[in-house]
Amino acid sequence: MESKHSLLKSFKFAFNGLETAVTKGRNFRIQVSLGILSIILGIIYKISNFEWIGLVLIIAAVLIFELINTAIEAIVDIVSPEIQEKARVAKDVSAASVLVASIAAIFIGAFLFIPKIFH
């Protein structure tokens, strides 16, 4: 499918979405901050290339799920401004995806850094 917009304009839309997530999304800012902290710890503890791959993938996964969750919540609010059971389910399940990714990130972070911190 051909886009109506130029490639440059498509990138502008994507960066606008990131800007919105950062400026309006408290949870996104927290997750970005924890991701940056994890990257700093990775530099300090000189993690291996394989460990970097895991760390970057889990940071990206958490941020991606948060962006998708935010988009789903906005869409649900537009199409169902009144509280409906199916709308609640959509919002709760998308929030749960962020929670699952965040829990996985905690385990991966603990697996990567606890042995290095206490060594």
pLDDT mean over 73-91: 95
- Return the pLDDT at 60: 98
Catalytic, out of 2, 19, 51, 66: 66
> What pLDDT sits at residue 5?
82
Whether 4 is covered by a domain: the verdict is no
Number of folded domains in the chain? 1
In a domain, 3, yes or no: no
pTM of the model: 0.92
With respect to residue 100, please indicate whether it lies within any of the assigned structural domains. Answer: yes
The pLDDT tens digits for 51-70 are 999 999 999 999 999 999 99
- Please, are residues 61 and 104 in contact by the beta-carbon 8 Å criterion? yes
pLDDT at 4 over 90: no
> Residue 70 is part of which domain span?
9-117
Q: What is the mean pLDDT of the chain?
A: 96
Give the domain CATH number at 101: 1.10.287.3610
Can 2 be counted among the known catalytic residues? no
Rounded CA separation 119/113 (Å):
10
